[in-house]
């Protein structure tokens, strides 16, 4: 079996920064919490939990200690509640996510109707829209959902940082074409993370050269799911796993060429271990 990897694997800058900050705080052996999963990777979260990090989604349950935001960002109301309780907050929101928050706020102040292309249930999107007026806000995931966006004169468009670049471009294209007659003033910000874009591009290139793709990452990880979606859309056999033990070696050993890629919150060591395991198959 021949095993191929993309040029870049492992953590993105935002994930690496968040983990490093938590690890430094854990050395102090004090009460440390995170408001939800720091990142969407069970391997990493299990390691951090074993060293003392406690994950709670309800800030009212935290009486004292240091509280980390998640890399995806935290809703405004939760931050305000934490401040009210006098908790020490440590900001670990990914810089790319902070940029989306900032752009959306600025557009809202200028009376633009904000359109966020992404998943309404994702923590990042919830953090972005948490302090925007709901009457001037739409969240869409597909071209079909464009219909629910009201007819407005000014529209500002941003994307969840882990959104598929192709999906973002298709929605923007259709939205603008369908609203041209409205005299629509539109401002479009491609806020899909540059690391995510590059990971998607390399995954697409790799999937075109192999019989099967193995995508490694948390099942709750949006950017990992997007990589698997890209591979499936190309018609290549695709396996989505969280850790190396999840792969069925008996099944994949029949494959001659396989590519391995991973989300931006997937540790490089997990992918390297899987690469070694598959390379040793007869």
Q: Please count the CA atoms within 13 angstroms of the CA of 175 that sit on its side-chain side.
A: 33
222 marked ligand binding residue: yes
Torsions phi, psi of 251, nearest 5? -75, -45
98 marked ligand binding residue: no
Q: Respond yes or no: is residue 124 known to be catalytic.
A: yes
193 marked ligand binding residue: yes
Whole-number Å distance between alpha carbons of 196 and 97: 12
Residue 250 makes CB contacts below 8 A (sequence gap 6+) with none
164 marked ligand binding residue: no
Whole-number Å distance between alpha carbons of 123 and 107: 21
Q: Are 138 and 114 in contact (CB under 8 A)?
A: yes
265 marked ligand binding residue: yes
Catalytic hit among 81, 124, 181, 229 = 124
Residue 70 DSSP one-character state? P
CA-only gyration radius of the chain, Å:
20
Torsion angle, alpha carbons of 241, 208, 8, 196, to 10: -80
113 marked ligand binding residue: no
223 marked ligand binding residue: yes
The distance in angstroms from the start CA to the end CA of the chain is: 7
- Residues identified as active-site: 124
Binding-site residues for [4Fe-4S] cluster sit at 12, 94, 193
Binding-site residues for dimethylallyl diphosphate sit at 40, 72, 122, 221-223, 265
Binding-site residues sit at 12, 40, 72, 94, 122, 161, 193, 221-223, 265
Binding-site residues for isopentenyl diphosphate sit at 40, 72, 122, 221-223, 265
């Amino acid at each position: 079996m021949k095993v191929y990897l993309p040029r870049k694997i492992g953590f993105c800058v935002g994930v690496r920064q968040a983990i490093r900050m938590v690890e430094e705080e854990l050395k102090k052996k004090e009460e440390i919490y995170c408001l939800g999963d720091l990142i969407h990777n069970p391997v990493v979260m299990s390691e951090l939990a074993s060293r003392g990090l406690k994950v709670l989604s309800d800030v009212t349950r935290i009486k004292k200690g240091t509280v980390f935001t998640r890399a995806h960002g935290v809703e405004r109301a939760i931050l305000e509640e934490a401040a009210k309780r006098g908790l020490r907050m440590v900001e670990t929101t990914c810089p790319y996510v902070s940029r989306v928050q900032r752009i959306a706020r600025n557009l809202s102040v200028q009376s633009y109707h904000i359109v966020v292309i992404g998943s309404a249930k994702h923590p990042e999107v919830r953090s972005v829209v948490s302090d925007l007026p709901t009457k001037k806000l739409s969240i869409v995931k597909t071209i079909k959902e464009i219909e629910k966006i009201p007819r407005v004169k000014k529209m500002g468009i941003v994307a969840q940082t882990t959104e598929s670049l192709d999906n973002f471009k298709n929605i923007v294209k259709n939205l603008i074409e369908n609203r041209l007659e409205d005299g629509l003033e539109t401002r479009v910000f491609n806020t899909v993370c540059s690391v995510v874009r590059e990971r998607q591009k390399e995954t697409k290139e790799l999937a075109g050269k192999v019989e099967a793709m193995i995508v490694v990452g948390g099942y709750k990880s949006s950017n990992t799911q997007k990589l698997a979606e890209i591979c499936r859309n190309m018609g290549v056999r695709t396996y989505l796993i969280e850790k190396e033990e999840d792969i069925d070696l008996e099944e994949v050993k029949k494959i001659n060429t396989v590519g391995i890629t991973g989300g931006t919150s997937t540790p490089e060591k997990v992918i390297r271990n899987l690469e070694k395991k598959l390379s040793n198959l007869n």
